[in-house]
Copies of this chain bind each other. A is one copy, B any other.
């Protein structure tokens, strides 16, 4: 295993990792991304239904943060009452690799912890 130079590159690497973690943190963030990703476009109440246990307050908060981080795009349709849909941005879609890695590692990890 090779690790990058702790003294020299460490600060930068650390900041980069922390940036990623900050974006992904929050109890429901990845669930929200997955929901929007699968359906391509998804409305507020639909996502609320997709994710088991999430409250409207939390969904609202997570969506705002994802939008601030330019991972999703929010579109208001001029209907009565208003309809809003969310979709992933191009940048949001680049998360796919990370999400897949996290999935694969999580499965392996569970096996290590539970044992065989």
Q: Which residues on the B side are within 8 Å of A30 (C-beta)?
A: 14, 17-18, 21
A102 touching B3 in the complex, CB below 8 Å, given contacts A34-B10, A109-B23, A112-B91 = no
Q: Which residues on the B side are within 8 Å of A107 (C-beta)?
A: 16, 19
Q: Give the residues from 7 to 63 in chain A that come closer than 8 angstroms, CB to CB, to chain B.
A: 10, 13-21, 23-25, 30-31, 34-35, 37-39, 50
Q: Which residues on the B side are within 8 Å of A13 (C-beta)?
A: 34, 103
Q: Which residues on the B side are within 8 Å of A99 (C-beta)?
A: 17
A39 to B1, CA, bound (A): 12
Residue from A18, A69, A106 having most chain B Cβ neighbours under 10 A: A106
Q: Which residues on the B side are within 8 Å of A97 (C-beta)?
A: 101, 105
